[in-house]
Amino acid sequence: MRLGVLDIGSNTGHLLVVDAHGGAAPLPAYSYKQPLRLAEHLDERGAVSRAGIDALTAFTADALLVAEDKGCADMLAFATSAVRDAVNSDDVLTHVQEQTGVGIEVLSGEDEARLTFLAVRRWFGWSAGRLAVFDIGGGSLEIAGGDDEAPDVAWSLPLGAARLARTYFAKDGPDEDDLKQLRKQIRATIAQDAGHLIRAGSPDRAAATSKTFRSLARICGAAPSAEGPLARRTLPLEELRHWIPKLVAMSREELAGLPGVSADRAHQIVPGALVAEACMDIFDLAELEICPWALREGVILERLDQMSVLAS
C-alpha cells in the first residue's frame, strides 16, 4: 500500500510518501518538505506564535494535497518536541485540524525514542546485538537501548540542536563563557539518567540517526548521500573533537559551506556537535554508526506490524 507519513518536527515539516507492505523495507516514492522552524517560533511564554501556526497549517494543507496526488491510501501525521512542549499545543492542533481536516498525533518523548529504536533495530538486524541509539532532533535528544525490537530503556531530553541554538546562539556568536555554560548544561543533563543505559553494559553497536548526526558525520569525512544508504558511515569521537574548535570559530556562512550542512541549519551545528560529543564521552563510545532509518520509518514499521496482527 502507499502511505503518506507527515512528520512535524522542530525544524522541518516533512511528508514522506512510501510504498510499504509487511516483510519488506518501506520504499520511498516521494518527499515533500519545508523548513518550518517551529522550535524557533516559540514566544516568551513557550507558545507557538501566530506565524508558526500559520506556517504549520499551510504546510499541512499542502502536504495533504501532495499525498492525495501521489495516491496515498492513508496518511500518518505526527508531531514531536516543538509542538509537544508548546503551552498552546492543543489549540495549535485543533486549529490545524479545523482548517485542513488532518489530525496530528503528538508523540511523547519516550515513544519518539522507542519508534526510532525500532527503525534502527530493523535496519541493522539481530546481528547488531545489544543496541544503543541516539537521535538529536531540533527540540530534543532521544536515547534508547536494548537487545530486542522494543528497547529496555528509552527517554527524551530537552537538548535539541534548534532549542539550544535559540537559547545560546541568538547573537552572531557565543562567547567563551556561553560555550562553557552550554557544555556544562548538556553534560549534566545527559549524565543525570545515563545509568539507565550504562547498567546493562557496553552496547554491541552504538548508532545515531537524524540530520544533525548525518551532517556531523559528513563534516568528519563520511560518504556523501550520493553514495546511497548502504554506504557505511560513522562519526568518530576523536575526529569530532578535532572539528569542534574549528566549527566554533566559523561564521554562519562558513558553516553553511561545509559538506552536508544546509544554510537553514548552519546555526545548529555547534550545539549539535556539543551534544554528540557529550553522548559519546559520557557513554564511552569511540564512534557512532549512522543509520539512515529513523523516526518516520519506525512509525511506518509499527503501523505495518499492527496491520499484520489485525489481518491474521
Question: 69-88 burial by CB neighbour count: b if 16+ within 10 A, else e?
Answer: eeebeebbbbbbbbbbbbeb
Residue-by-residue pLDDT tens, the chain, 312 positions: 899 999 999 889 999 999 988 888 899 999 999 999 898 888 889 999 999 999 999 999 999 999 999 999 999 999 999 999 999 999 999 999 999 999 999 999 999 999 999 999 999 999 999 999 999 999 999 999 999 999 999 999 999 999 999 888 866 667 888 899 999 999 999 999 999 999 988 999 999 999 999 999 999 999 999 999 999 999 999 999 999 999 999 999 999 999 999 998 999 999 999 999 999 999 999 999 999 999 999 999 999 988 877 766
Q: What is the DSSP letter of 210?
A: S
Instruction: List, in sequence order, the alpha helices (H) in 220-294.
Output: 237-249, 252-256, 269-282
Set out the domains of the chain in order of their start, with CATH numbers. Answer: 2-106 (3.30.420.40), 109-295 (3.30.420.150)
Assigned C-alpha cell, 141: 535528544
> Does residue 244 contact residue 277 with C-beta atoms inside 8 Å?
yes
- Cα–Cα distance measured from residue 54 to residue 307, given in angstroms and rounded to the nearest whole number: 34
Instruction: List, in sequence order, the alpha helices (H) in the chain.
Output: 50-69, 81-85, 89-100, 109-124, 161-168, 176-192, 195-198, 211-219, 237-249, 252-256, 269-282, 295-311
CA dihedral for 229, 32, 219, 281, sign (positive or negative): negative
Instruction: Specify the pLDDT at position 105.
Output: 96
C-alpha torsion 132→104→88→265, nearest 10: 50
pTM for the predicted model, two decimal places: 0.95
